[in-house]
Amino acid sequence: MKKTAILSPDQPIQTLTVSELEDLIQRIVRNVIEEEYPTPIKNRAGAVKLLEGKLIKTFGTWADPRSPEIIISEIYSSRTVSNREICL
């Protein structure tokens, strides 16, 4: 059985490892699926696994050869800040 990390709501996302981030996303998807299908299902675990499989089949997984540090650096460097004054 896969060990799940205990994450704090105050923990910055930048401190998560790739494995912890994947685990967090999977837990979020499970929660959303369970909220979207609140009616009792005989085999809820099987239904959730089936829906997760459909989600992954539809959207795929994210694979990137770049390190998390490089990806984060590129995200920050692509952001722009405007120094315009706004008059209302």
On whether the CB atoms of residues 24 and 31 are closer than 8 A, the answer is no
Mention every residue, 6+ apart, whose C-beta is less than 8 A from residue 71.
Answer: 64
Interatomic CA distance for residues 44 and 70, integer angstroms: 39
On whether the CB atoms of residues 34 and 48 are closer than 8 A, the answer is yes
Residue 1 is predicted with a pLDDT of: 41
Residue 3 is predicted with a pLDDT of: 53
pLDDT by residue, tens only, the chain of 88 residues: 455 556 677 778 788 888 888 888 888 888 887 777 666 566 667 777 777 787 777 777 777 888 888 988 888 888 877 777 777 7
Give the type of residue at 71: I
